[in-house]
């Protein structure tokens, strides 16, 4: 899904403006504590979202399983996914900036997260891809629910 959004975003008119905005940040914002608070919140959220599931599924590993190596892989995959999603989001923000005539900074602040994703689903992705994406997210949600139930049921016997 992320790669579909990335490819679709990069093919839109104005995507290069969004990518330029993404790759050339305003370094004066690093002096603001709220920026660091938001960044830390994002990092903790992305790593801790499945910690209970990881712990309960980790009990099935062999004794000599190299946890250190796979935790580094997890960090690498998370970093790659975050950077890739940044390219996807800012390419679409560049398109939205071009179509609305607003600055990219203003587009990013004026549209909320839900409105941003509704905009993507309604205007940028044809209906066939929307339905495929919906079913993918539906089954992904079922998978997460099953893992959560597994985590909760694992607590009692252990």
**Using the 8-state DSSP alphabet, how is residue 121 labeled?**
I
- The total of other beta-carbon atoms located within 10 Å of residue 92's CB is 26
User: What pLDDT was estimated at residue 84?
Assistant: 92
Q: In the structure, what pLDDT confidence band is assigned to residue 95 with cuts at 50, 70 and 90?
A: confident
User: What pLDDT was estimated at residue 114?
Assistant: 55
Q: Token pair for residue 12?
A: 């839109």
Lowest mean pLDDT across 54-58, 81-85, 107-111, 154-158: 154-158
Average pLDDT score, the chain: 78
Q: Give DSSP secondary structure letters for 67-124.
A: HHHHHHHHHHHHHHHHHHHHHHHHHHHHHHHHHHT--HHHHHHHS-HHHHHHHIIIII
Q: Token pair for residue 154?
A: 């694992």
**Higher-confidence position of 118 and 139:** 139
Segment 72-95 mean pLDDT: 87
**Dist. CA 27–CA 36, nearest whole Å:** 12
Question: Taking the model in full, what pTM does it have?
Answer: 0.68
User: What pLDDT was estimated at residue 17?
Assistant: 92
- For helices 15-23 and 2-10, what crossing angle results, to 10°? 110
User: What pLDDT was estimated at residue 67?
Assistant: 80
Residues 6+ apart with CB under 8 A from 136: 1
**Dist. CA 122–CA 135, nearest whole Å:** 16
Q: Of 95, 104, 72, 101, whose CA–CA distance to 6 is shortest?
A: 95
Q: Token pair for residue 20?
A: 């330029």
Q: Token pair for residue 51?
A: 């910690």
**Higher-confidence position of 10 and 67:** 10
């Amino acid at each position: 899904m992320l790669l579909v959004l990335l490819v679709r975003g990069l093919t839109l008119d104005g995507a290069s403006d969004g990518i330029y905005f993404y790759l050339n940040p305003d370094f004066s914002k690093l002096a603001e504590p709220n920026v660091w608070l938001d960044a830390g919140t994002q990092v903790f959220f992305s790593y801790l979202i499945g910690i209970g599931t990881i712990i309960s599924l980790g009990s099935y590993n062999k004794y000599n399983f190299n946890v250190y190596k796979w935790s580094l892989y997890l960090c690498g995959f998370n970093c790659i996914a975050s950077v890739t999603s940044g390219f996807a989001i800012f390419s679409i923000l560049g398109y939205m900036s071009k179509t609305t005539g607003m600055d990219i900074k203003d587009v990013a602040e004026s549209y909320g997260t839900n409105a941003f994703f509704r905009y993507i689903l309604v205007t940028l992705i044809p209906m066939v891809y929307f339905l495929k994406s919906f079913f993918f997210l539906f089954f992904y949600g079922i998978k997460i629910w099953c893992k959560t139930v597994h985590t909760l049921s694992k607590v009692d016997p252990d």
